Amino acid sequence: MNAGEIKALLQARGLTPNRALGQNFLVDEAAAAAIAGASGAAKFPVLEIGPGLGALTEALLRLSSQVVAVEIDAAMISILKERFSSAKNLLLRHEDFLDTDLDALKPLLGTQCAVAANLPYYVTTPICMKLLTSELPIAHMALMLQKEAAERFTTLPGSRQYGPLTVLAQRYYEVKTLMTLPPARYYPQPDVDSVVLTLCHRPDVSVLPALPRILATAFSMRRKTLLNNLRSAGLSKESAEALLEQCSISPAARAEALPPEAFARLATQWEAEMSK
Ligand code: SAM
């Protein structure tokens, strides 16, 4: 659908795009097809977050055996039900993705799955953290985000944007930029460019259950050293120093300077200590 068609569809139902829900609908069908292709939908069942009016959903349905789409807005759900009434491979869930029980979706998404989303900007970080810390067997993702949010996936240690999301994404996935889309590819137009990232799960890394907690602790006060942040989290000075030394990390280091591998060492060591 182009911008005029979307406007007419919404107007006919007495609706306007809900800015509070980050509703900027994609009006570029070629981009939707490219994103669906890059998401891994041709190989795996796919989870879509925020299908909206179905721009990306339509492209995913063409490729995937099963699309599970989670949308918060009842008005969008009703339009999607009509638009895709004959699609046997679409399961719509009307709920806030942050409340979605991902364990309950596992049987629908199989042993490996894909994720595709044009993410609502107001809730990008919690949605991405939920995906990156979930136990879903995600093999591929294609995520459309505002440019600044995308930089947090691709940035390097030492930058302002570097944080827990960066470490989790880069530890578990190979992150690539697929394309940049200007505001004119959406209705209504957002204020900034969007970037589509692809994330391909690294086969050689094991899940570190302690990593999210270590990251939350390490980045809790960005200006403090890692040692002091560990101490604020309840570790004694001696234990925190010993932990850092075992991981070959300087006690004077700040979290933002450490590469993802250093956090992986820290999480591994932490888990080993906890299981003693
Ligand atoms: N996928 C559509 C597209 O590309 O045109 C719509 C994308 S729009 C940027 C974001 C969509 O996410 C909207 O449909 C919005 O209602 C939905 N949404 C916002 N917050 C959500 C949440 N917490 N859980 C699920 N869907 C949400």
Measured from the CA of 52, which atom of ligand 1 is nearest? 14
Nearest C-alpha to atom 22 of ligand 1 is from which residue? 96
Matching residue, tokens 């067997």: 137
Residue 21 has pLDDT above 80, yes or no: yes
Give me ligand 1 centre to Cα 159, in Å: 29
pLDDT tens profile 122-153: 999 999 999 999 999 999 999 999 999 999 99
Q: What is the mean pLDDT of residues 95-115?
A: 96
**Residue 271: its pLDDT value, please?**
85
Which of 67, 72, 143 should be mutated for ligand 1, with most atoms under 8 A from CB? 72
Among 46-50, 156-160, 267-271, which is the least confidently predicted range? 267-271
Residue type, 163: G
Measured from the CA of 121, which atom of ligand 1 is nearest? 9
From residue 238, give the alpha-carbon distance in Å to each of 215, 245, 246: 20, 10, 12
Say what percent of the chain tops pLDDT 70.
100
How many secondary structure helices (H) and strands (E) does the chain include?
Answer: 12, 9
pLDDT tens profile 178-204: 999 999 999 999 999 999 999 999 999
Residue 274 has pLDDT above 90, yes or no: no
Which of 16, 48, 118, 192 should be mutated for ligand 1, with most atoms under 8 A from CB? 118
**Residue 43: its pLDDT value, please?**
97
Give me ligand 1 centre to Cα 63, in Å: 21
Alpha helices in 89-236 (DSSP H): 102-109, 124-132, 147-154, 164-172, 211-218, 226-232
- Can you tell me the distance from the alpha carbon of 175 to that of 110, in angstroms, rounded to the nearest whole number? 23
Give me ligand 1 centre to Cα 137, in Å: 22
In DSSP terms, 271 is beta-bridged to none
Contact between 197 and 145 (Cβ < 8 Å): yes
User: 188 preceded by cis ω (within 30°)?
Assistant: yes
- Can you tell me the distance from the alpha carbon of 236 to that of 273, in angstroms, rounded to the nearest whole number? 14
In DSSP terms, 200 is beta-bridged to 140, 174
> What residue ranges line ligand 1, CB within 6 angstroms?
21-26, 49-53, 55-56, 70-73, 76, 96-98, 118, 120, 123
Contact between 84 and 57 (Cβ < 8 Å): yes
How confident is the prediction for the chain on average, in pLDDT? 95
Give me ligand 1 centre to Cα 139, in Å: 22
Residue 273 has pLDDT above 80, yes or no: no
Distance in Å from the first CA to the final CA of the chain = 59
- Measure the CA angle with vertex 96, ends 94 and 99; round to 5°: 115
**Residue 26: its pLDDT value, please?**
98
Six token digits for residue 174? 């190979």
